């Protein structure tokens, strides 16, 4: 990933930031739009590499996609292809979301294995077994997934693990299947409820998102809609962590505080004062943070794995020792070695990270290896002595729109190259 960020440390972040639509909500909604029989308009869509790649895949399937400001319009009526473009689907993990909608639209599908950040094994077995339970005939060979012509039929499906992607894929495919589908042990992330609301806005019959059981009654037709996705809880958490690390005073607006309750609870442990309204959270940080003693990533409503790296960076300069246990992905500590180059005191033991806070970090040239790890390195640069150069801006651009402008508006000295 080319390009990077240059960060001069030592600036306190203050001010307000407004959060846009969530990447992890927008991507499945774009996928689901393929099944509509009229135009779909998504409002508040961020300009992210992953979003543009998903739009490119839809165009490759024959959809007309256009952007006007923060609105993305998808006209799926011209879609005439059930084979995903190999290059784009290979770059985007979320391309797997399109299997269910393509099956719902065409009754068959072809795609390559999805790509994305290298943060460990992310098997798609649950996606495929769920689709097979809906009567999809699937063959895997030579790096390709071939879903042969079949009629989707509703069925009871139990997920061995509450996978977000598998839950969403099954929901979308089942929306056009014959009969009723029930999903037990589904993911409960806010993005699941958002997908349910979006599908229902198109005419689907989905209920139970956020609970232990989701029920989908298949319908013959899904229409167009105008819809505003939920805002990005991980971006909000990242900005709050940046404020905490810089002894800042930042208000994050246009969010639902309950979606980030696990994050704000940990930030409160560090000595930060947090005040919430219905749509905002203000954080005021002390001069020196206290280390959160233990942080364990878990499915929602537990602490999100997508915030682990940012809190890892925070722990590096907090007073005391933090133990982090990564339960969701087995290779999500690639940022640890880079933070060590900046002076962090870190020990990694399998899925455990033991971090003892230091008085200061020192600027260095570091390499982002994935989206959230890259953001963590930028945050570390905000508090490091001297200049930090974070290579690999492409990873960070996958999930943060103009991160340098957002942080710069709060007082950071940061530029992109």
Q: Is the peptide bond before 301 cis (omega within 30 degrees of 0)?
A: yes
Contact between 204 and 175 (Cβ < 8 Å): yes
Give the distance, in angstroms, between the CA of residue 270 and the centroid of all CA atoms in the same chain.
Answer: 25
- State whether residue 240 is helix, strand or coil: helix
Between 23-33 and 190-201, two packed helices, what is the crossing angle to 10 degrees?
Answer: 30
23-33 and 164-175 helices cross at what angle (nearest 10)? 20
HSE-up of residue 368 (Cα within 13 Å, Cβ side): 32
Give all strands (DSSP E) within 104-155, no chain letters: 109-112, 137-141, 144-148
- Cβ-contact 240, 250 below 8 angstroms: yes
CA–CA dist 19, 21 (Å, integer):
7
- Residue whose structure tokens are 């390499």: 367
Cβ 303 vs Cβ 328: under 8 Å: no
Of the candidates 117, 147, 272, 316, the residue annotated as catalytic is: 117
Q: Beta 213-217 vs 249-253: how paired, if at all?
A: unpaired
For the question of residue 111 being annotated catalytic, the response is: no
Which residues form the catalytic set? Answer: 117
């Amino acid at each position: 990933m080319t390009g990077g960020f240059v960060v001069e440390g030592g600036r306190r972040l203050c001010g307000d930031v407004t959060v846009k639509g969530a990447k992890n909500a927008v991507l499945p909604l774009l996928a689901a739009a393929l099944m509509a029989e009229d135009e779909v308009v998504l409002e508040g869509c961020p300009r992210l590499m992953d979003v543009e790649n998903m739009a490119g895949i839809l165009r490759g399937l024959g959809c007309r996609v256009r952007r006007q400001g923060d609105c993305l319009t998808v006209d799926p009526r011209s879609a005439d292809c059930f084979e995903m473009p190999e290059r784009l689907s290979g770059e985007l993990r979320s391309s797997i979301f399109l299997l269910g909608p393509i099956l719902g639209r065409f009754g068959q599908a072809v795609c390559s294995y999805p790509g994305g950040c290298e943060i460990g094994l992310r098997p798609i077995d649950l996606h495929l077994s769920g689709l097979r339970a809906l009567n999809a005939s699937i063959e895997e060979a030579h790096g390709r997934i071939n879903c042969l012509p079949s009629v989707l039929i509703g069925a009871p499906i139990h997920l061995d693990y509450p996978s977000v992607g598998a839950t969403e894929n099954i929901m979308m495919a089942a929306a056009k299947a014959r009969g009723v589908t029930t999903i037990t042990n589904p993911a409960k992330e806010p993005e699941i409820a958002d997908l349910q609301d979006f599908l229902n806005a198109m005419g689907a019959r989905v209920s139970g998102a956020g609970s232990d059981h989701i029920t989908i009654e298949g319908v013959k037709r899904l229409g167009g809609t105008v819809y505003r996705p939920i805002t990005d809880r991980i971006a909000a958490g990242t900005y709050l962590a940046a404020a905490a690390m810089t002894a800042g005073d930042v208000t994050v607006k246009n969010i639902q505080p309950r979606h980030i309750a696990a994050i704000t609870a940990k930030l409160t442990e560090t000595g930060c004062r947090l005040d919430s309204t219905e749509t905002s959270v203000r954080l005021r940080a002390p001069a020196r943070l206290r280390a959160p003693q233990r942080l364990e990533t878990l499915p929602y409503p537990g602490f999100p794995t997508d915030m682990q790296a940012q809190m890892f960076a925070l722990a590096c300069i907090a007073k005391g020792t933090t133990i982090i246990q990564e339960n969701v992905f087995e290779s999500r500590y690639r940022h640890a070695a880079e933070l060590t180059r900046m002076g962090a005191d870190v020990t990694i033991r399998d899925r455990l990270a033991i971090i003892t806070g230091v008085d200061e970090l020192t600027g260095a040239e570091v390499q982002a290896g994935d989206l959230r790890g890259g953001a963590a390195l930028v945050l570390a640069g905000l508090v490091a002595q001297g200049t930090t150069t974070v290579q690999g801006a492409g990873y960070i651009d996958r999930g943060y729109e103009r991160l340098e402008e957002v942080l710069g508006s709060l007082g950071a000295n940061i530029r992109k190259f």
